[in-house]
Amino acid sequence: MPPYPGLGTNPAGIEVGRGDGPVKRIILDLCAGTGGWSQPYVDAGYDVRRYDLLHGTGECLKDIRLLEYPTFPVHGILAAPPCTVFAASGNRWPRSERDMADGLSVVDACLRLVVVCRPQWWVLENPVGKLKRYLGPPTMRFDPCDYGDPYTKKTLLWGNFTPPMKTPCLPLDGSKMHTRFGGKSQRTKTLRSETPLGFAAAFFNANP
């Protein structure tokens, strides 16, 4: 069994018939980090392409701003552009116009791929902060404790997707982002950006 609470089985969501026979559905995981958000899709047999400058491998070790038009059908897109210049938690550090433009260029690249790929569903994630000034109101917001992980991290989602059903618990661990994962090292930045397991499983179940 995959190590994700609530992960269902959906054989119809794993393969679709095309041309000569069934092929795996393709998911693009943009700015994938360690890949936690897309792991339920990997476990269910999807063809997941994880693009990330630090954690990607092979052809996926790439700046997504340089990705060309895909020649294959894309079923779904997960996007988690870096939040450094957008997150409200970083408001104490001033950001230049160049900083903001660089951050937005990654967001724009994610949305460009949505436009050209026309997936069945897509979603873009960022913590509460400045990004809503540029993308408008989010489609959904949540905390990890809404999906069984007992801590808080106010997170916004934009996109065209089915909101996953919530299974709330008490946030007994409070905000681990500050108590355990504070600091500027790449290690703590990676830990802060990891997708909660409960949310990842719930999102997969709602968006096969």
Residue 29 DSSP SS3? strand
Looking at residue 56, what is its pLDDT?
A: 78
Looking at residue 148, what is its pLDDT?
A: 96
Instruction: Measure the CA–CA gap between 208 and 206, rounded to whole angstroms.
Output: 6
pTM: predicted TM-score of the whole model, two decimal places:
0.83
Report, in this order, helix, strand and coil percent for the chain, each rounded to 5: 35, 20, 50
Q: What is the pLDDT of residues 142-154, one digit of tens each?
A: 999 999 999 999 9
Burial of 172 (0-12, 13-18, 19+ CB in 10 A): exposed
Instruction: Measure the CA–CA gap between 146 and 175, rounded to whole angstroms.
Output: 14
Pick the CATH number of 23-206 from 3.40.50.2300, 3.30.2020.10, 3.40.50.150, 3.20.20.70: 3.40.50.150
48 vs 11 pLDDT, higher one:
48
The structural domains of the chain, with segments of one domain joined by +, span 23-206
CA distances for 146 relative to 2, 31, 136, 168, angstroms: 21, 24, 23, 4
Q: What is the pLDDT of residues 24-80, one digit of tens each?
A: 999 999 999 999 999 999 999 999 999 998 877 788 888 999 999 999 999 999 999
Q: Over the chain, what is the mean pLDDT?
A: 84
Q: What is the pLDDT of residues 160-175, one digit of tens each?
A: 999 999 999 999 988 8
